Chain A
Amino acid sequence: MTDATLTKSAASPLVELDDVSKYYGNIRALEGVSLEVHGGEITCVLGDNGAGKSTLIKIIAGLHRHDAGAFRIEGEDVSLSNPREALDRGIATVYQDLAVVPLMPVWRNFFLGSEPTKGAGPFKRLDVDLMRRTTRAELLRMGIDLRDVDQPIGTLSGGERQCVAIARAVYFGAKVLVLDEPTAALGVKQSGVVLKYVAAARDAGLGVVLITHNPHHAYLVGDRFVLLKRGTMTGSHLRTQITLDELTRQMAGGSELEELSHELQRAPEPHLGGGAADTGE
């Protein structure tokens, strides 16, 4: 295994996939993929469309069980059967289509589904002060300085909304954060903002799995890089072992790209304006 050299951290990783495979009927969606997620580190999963990134997320998030290999959380072998189980074990997944309600204030969104209450019986009510204060403090801790936690979350930019979703996952006790293409739909500046908060989550001690098809974004923050292609792992590197150019080359398909550039080269004898010769061919 290429990643045999990577397992040098003293503690057991927060999440570890060892030679994991997943089949849908006779379709091989994922085969022999290994990766490690450590606290305070960012593991990037890179791959083109159809490389198996979504399948990988679904296994870690508990939506699908893996069929072969080992999936360990803090050293313990597991086989997750639903997202709730993953959440309970501290794995929070932030999907691209974010779980926010645009017209509701930021603080209501932050606690939606897990609202703290005070009082008892018919007087049980939302602890609004706590909710407002916590939202503001938690976002500030992530480096998000909101103008007003009462503004509808729909008025925030896509990047800021992504950040709120991340801060929310962190607050509700996530140890591992799985981010599905967080920068895919964002502009350059917004992507930078999101990457900053991803780094903030890392600094807060979380293990982060960053799924992306952008090697430039990955290289900015990543500690480990796992490359997927057509369901198999084509590379696994520590940051110290690889340069951005090499990562980009491998990501883009390496030798395949050379082949493509060869194919795209002009034919040795391009057709030059001669009418009769062309029609004859």
Chain B
Amino acid sequence: MTATAPAPASAKDERLIHRSVLRKLLGRPELGSVVGAVAVFVFFSVVADSFLRASSLSTVLYAASTIGIMAVPVALLMIGGEFDLSAGVLVTTSALVSSMFSYQMTANVWVGVGVSLLTTLALGAFNGFMLTRTKLPSFIITLGTFLMLTGLNLGFTKLISGTVSTKSIADMEGFASAKKVFASQLSIGSVDLKVTILWWFGLVALATWVLLRTRFGNWIFAVGGEADAARAVGVPVYKTKIGLYMGVAFAAWISGQHLLFSFDVVQSGEGVGNELIYIIAAVIGGCLITGGYGSAIGSAVGAFIFGMTSKGIVYAEWNPDWFKFFLGAMLLLATLLNAWVRKRAEATA
């Protein structure tokens, strides 16, 4: 059949010349968010004098990292075609379990941290298991988990400690080393960087590698893009989805431990509403809400935009009440830009 093949594989295809580097860039899911991030950066650099200082940028990065750590697995889950509305309160649950277990058992805090990891992963697996078993939309399943966890967080905390926050574990064994891992500051020159930024970058790198270079990553795109076709060629659709929910749980554990060890107590009502911010970061970063398309790096850019906006408003000395308005406008603009860019890229591919 080589007779019908016009060009050898190595030769440049003459039809490819129109697809320049720019066009290739336009085809990336992150592009819209990068353009948005540059615009936001320039905007705040102009209106807020103190925005460009190194200390300000480290604050921005910290704000971005607390959202970004969760936005990474939420983006992966969204590429896999599902939502997790329980992600926000799961962070709080993870922190509460860790804190209360250590306190009640008077154990080394690392024991609590370990128990928290297992509990949180089990909750993630529960989400995934319920989803694949009942075949209900993930919106409903995780909305249920969200409400149940919100109630459990508050109910258990009040039951055990009598107030809405946990008891301080600052004087307990292992606290110092755990704080070092989850909530320390690294000084590079005159700039203080929070350790969460490292966790965040690490997770982004890991998720990008998994997504683009492993079989599991291939399956994530497939189950989100066309689950039936994926199953027909032998992709374990259910296991993939359960795995993605456990990924969210793992990141919730990291975030939860940071929450706990940044201070030494946990407020049981925290986390409500954050699940939407994670989803916003993923969508701004180019994840398709219907699944099958997106990137981990995009979610990081989305989180960075969030960090810049939330802190930029403060540096510009505006009333922070306006923040939500900006976030909403950003979401709409980014989604429109993404849709437009993708249409252009596909039309000229």
Contacts and interface: CB of A to CB of B under 8 A. Distances in A.
Contact of B293 (A103, A136, A141): A103
B230 interface: yes
Interface string B232-259: 1111000000000000000000000000
A108 B221 contact: yes
A199 B233 CA distance: 24
Interface string B1-17: 11011110100010110
Contact of B214 (A100, A113, A125, A152): A125
B5 A98 contact: no
A99 to B, nearest CB: 4
B214 A124 contact: yes
B215 A200 contact: no
Interface string A12-29: 000000000000000000
B225 A99 contact: no
B229 interface: yes
Contact of A101 (B7, B9, B230, B349): B230
B53 interface: no
Given A145-B6, A147-B13, A203-B1, A102 B225 contact: yes
Nearest first, the 6 closest Cβ-Cβ pairs linking A and B are A113-B233, A113-B234, A101-B225, A143-B4, A99-B232, A101-B226
Interface residues of B, number: 32
Contact of B221 (A101, A124, A143, A203): A101
Interface string A99-111: 1111110001001
Nearest to B234: A113
A148 B229 contact: no
A113 B13 contact: no
Contacts of B218: 104, 108, 111-112, 115, 126
Contact of B346 (A117, A136, A155): A155
Nearest to B4: A143
A156 to B, nearest CB: 11
A155 B343 CA distance: 12
Interface in A165-207: 196, 200, 203-204
A78 interface: no
B26 interface: no
B222 interface: yes
A143 B5 contact: yes
B19 interface: yes
A130 B218 CA distance: 15
A140 interface: yes
Chain A CB count within 10 A is highest, among B225, B288, B349, for: B225
Which of B6, B214, B217 has the largest number of chain A CB atoms within 10 A? B214
Main SS of the interface on chain A?
loop
A242 interface: no
A113 B213 contact: no
Contacts of A142: 1
B235 A136 contact: no
Interface string A76-98: 00000000000000000000001
Counting chain B CB atoms within 10 Å of each CB, which of A113, A143, A151 scores highest? A113
B214 A104 contact: no
Contacts of B235: 112-113
A220 interface: no
Given A136-B9, A145-B7, A155-B349, A99 B213 contact: no
10 contacts: A104-B225, A112-B218, A112-B233, A112-B235, A113-B230, A113-B235, A114-B233, A126-B213, A140-B2, A143-B4
A145 B1 contact: no
Contacts of A117: 214-215
Interface string A46-71: 00000000000000000000000000
B234 A151 contact: no
A244 interface: no
B292 interface: yes
A103 B16 CA distance: 20
Given A101-B225, A145-B13, 6 more contacts: A101-B229, A102-B225, A117-B215, A126-B213, A126-B218, A147-B15
Interface in B171-205: none
A102 B225 CA distance: 7
Contacts of A137: 9
B222 A104 contact: yes
A200 B3 CA distance: 11
A86 to B, nearest CB: 13
A155 B213 CA distance: 23
A103 B1 contact: no
Contacts of B214: 117, 124-126
Interface string A118-134: 00000011101000010
B229 A143 contact: no
A133 to B, nearest CB: 7
Contacts of A111: 218
Given A126-B213, A145-B7, A104 B13 contact: no
Contact of A148 (B13, B221, B234): B13
Contacts of A126: 213-215, 217-218
Nearest to A87: B234
A101 B222 contact: yes
A177 to B, nearest CB: 15
Contacts of A102: 225-226, 292
Contacts of B346: 152, 155
